[in-house]
Amino acid sequence: MNKSNNFSGQPIIKQLLKLLSPSIITRTVSDHNSDRYYKRFKTYDHLVTMLYATLSGVSSLRELSTILLACEGRIGHLNLKHFPKRSTLSDANKNRSSEVFA
Rounded Cα gap, residues 20 and 28, in angstroms: 12
32 band by pLDDT with thresholds 50, 70 and 90: very high
Rounded Cα gap, residues 83 and 90, in angstroms: 13
The answer to whether 32 and 26 have CB atoms below 8 angstroms apart is no
User: What's the predicted TM-score (pTM) here?
Assistant: 0.82
pLDDT higher than 60, residue 1: no
- Residue-level pLDDT at 22: 84
Boundaries of every domain in the chain: 12-96
Average pLDDT (17-42) is 89
pLDDT higher than 70, residue 99: yes
